[in-house]
């Protein structure tokens, strides 16, 4: 069993940052404030922050590794390994790959979603981050319902989201640049894409009943659910009545307030914080956070964003760092039902990151421990030979 001892760092414990030590044993944190005696590996965290690993409940940047340019595909296993390295190097130790299954062919097709799920399940033991499957279901994708329910029943879906981008899709047909991007992603001709959209829109009357059946299946399988881009308090209330307690990217403050009043988890994108606003022109996340209307920040489309956002919030005086860190560690863990991580305490999963915060707004990951394994280290001179290891060498 691997043991790691971390000493000399400023450790986030509960609501305070204190200079202390951590010891891991196997996959868990075994002690806080322990002596160095024993252990197979020691790390000098002097001058560094020691923080819980980041939990990302919605990250779809891996799509760029699968298709870096429209129509240019790379093997899914290659894409997953590259995405895993990116996530870990940015402090993300639990990652939910947000996979869109739409009515489109191509990148967001059912065949691609199945290949991705199969590959995640096969590769999971070899990946450094705890890698999970977040299925983003386009609600107009009615033909997918039976297979999705089968996946839920089999325990293959870790997080399930209801998405409805049909209005924006129809609206973007008249915008040449956006139309081009959508069509290229599917591999269809312009005419074939228009015909497909028309067929899908014609089945709108069947969508509400499908949502009800999928929500019932998710509840039965104990799968946490998300509603995406809630546009009104009424929409949020309808999804909550179905057991959907995570509101992702509510489009206005009124809807966010409805979610907060009911105790729902409210997710915004960390890139929104880092960039100072939404790239769509919608809600500004830092304003929502200041008003207590955001409980989780996700990487969305950019893996470095969660780390950067927490320090941006602290530097801007919106939240102290310990509270900002909750948005990217403990809160997303709670939202997804992962009660074994997100905080540094004995008995919790040993997901730990060491951060150099010397340069304002530019935190740098020095080391990452995931489930008790040292999976990323940029400064090898921080490794310390323990007393027991030195003794073993001497005897040999």
**What is the residue-averaged pLDDT of the chain?**
93
- Joined tokens for residue 197: 């959209």
**Residue ranges in 124-252 assigned as alpha helix (H):** 145-153, 166-172, 176-186, 190-201, 207-221, 233-241
The residues, ordered by sequence, that sit 6+ positions from 277 with a Cβ below 8 Å of its Cβ are 284
Q: pLDDT per residue over 201-228, tens digit each?
A: 999 999 999 999 999 999 999 999 999 9
Domain ranges for the chain:
3-52+345-395, 54-144+160-210+226-335
Q: Note whether 260 and 18 are within 8 A (CB).
A: no
| Domains 3-52+345-395 and 54-144+160-210+226-335 are alike in CATH topology | no
Q: Note whether 12 and 334 are within 8 A (CB).
A: no
- For residue 53, the 8-state DSSP code is P
List, as one string, the DSSP characters of 106-124.
Answer: GGGSHHHHHHHHHHHHHHG
CATH of domain 54-144+160-210+226-335: 3.20.20.140
Average of per-residue pLDDT across 381-391: 68
β-bridge partners, 12: 17
Class of domain 3-52+345-395 as given by CATH: mainly beta
Average of per-residue pLDDT across 91-120: 93
Handedness of CA 349, 351, 354, 355 (dihedral sign): negative
pTM equals 0.92
Average of per-residue pLDDT across 46-61: 96
Among 87, 20, 21, 85, smallest CA distance to 60 is for 87
Q: pLDDT per residue over 109-164, tens digit each?
A: 999 999 999 999 999 999 999 999 999 999 999 999 999 999 999 999 999 999 99
Among 234, 252, 228, smallest CA distance to 166 is for 228
């Amino acid at each position: 069993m691997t043991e790691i001892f971390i000493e000399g760092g400023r450790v986030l414990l509960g609501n305070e940052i204190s200079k202390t030590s951590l010891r891991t044993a196997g996959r868990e944190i075994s002690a806080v404030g322990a002596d160095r005696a024993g252990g197979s590996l020691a790390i000098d965290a002097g001058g560094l922050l020691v923080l819980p690993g980041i939990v990302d409940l919605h990250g779809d940047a891996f799509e760029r590794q699968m298709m870096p340019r429209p129509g240019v595909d790379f093997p899914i296993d290659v894409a997953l390994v590259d995405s895993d390295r990116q996530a870990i190097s940015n402090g993300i130790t639990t990652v939910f790959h947000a996979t869109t299954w739409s009515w489109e062919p191509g990148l967001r097709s059912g065949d691609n979603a199945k290949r991705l799920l199969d590959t995640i399940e096969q590769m999971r033991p070899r990946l450094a981050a705890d890698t999970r499957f977040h299925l983003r279901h386009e609600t107009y994708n009615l033909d997918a319902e039976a297979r999705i329910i089968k996946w839920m029943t089999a325990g293959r879906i870790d997080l399930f989201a209801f998405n409805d981008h049909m209005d924006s899709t129809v609206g973007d047909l008249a915008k040449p640049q956006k139309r081009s991007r959508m069509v290229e992603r599917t591999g269809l001709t312009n005419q074939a894409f228009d015909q497909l959209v028309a067929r899908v829109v014609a089945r709108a009357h069947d969508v509400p009943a499908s949502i009800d059946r999928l929500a019932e299946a998710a509840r039965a399988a104990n799968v946490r659910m998300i509603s995406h881009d809630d546009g009104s308090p009424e929409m949020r209330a309808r999804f909550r009545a179905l057991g959907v307690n995570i509101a992702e990217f509510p489009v206005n403050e009124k809807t966010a307030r409805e979610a907060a009043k009911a105790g729902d988890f409210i997710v915004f994108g960390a890139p929104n914080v880092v960039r100072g606003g939404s790239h769509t022109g919608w809600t500004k996340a830092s304003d929502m956070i200041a008003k207590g209307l955001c409980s989780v920040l996700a990487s969305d489309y950019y893996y470095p964003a969660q780390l950067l956002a927490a320090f941006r919030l602290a530097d801007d005086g919106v939240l102290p760092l310990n509270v900002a860190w909750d948005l990217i560690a403990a809160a997303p863990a709670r939202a997804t039902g992962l009660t074994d991580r997100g905080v540094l305490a004995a008995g919790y999963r040993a997901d730990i990151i060491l951060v150099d915060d010397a340069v304002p707004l530019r935190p740098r990951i020095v080391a990452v421990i995931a489930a008790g394994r040292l999976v990323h280290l940029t400064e090898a001179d921080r490794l310390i030979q323990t007393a027991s290891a030195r003794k073993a060498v001497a005897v040999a």
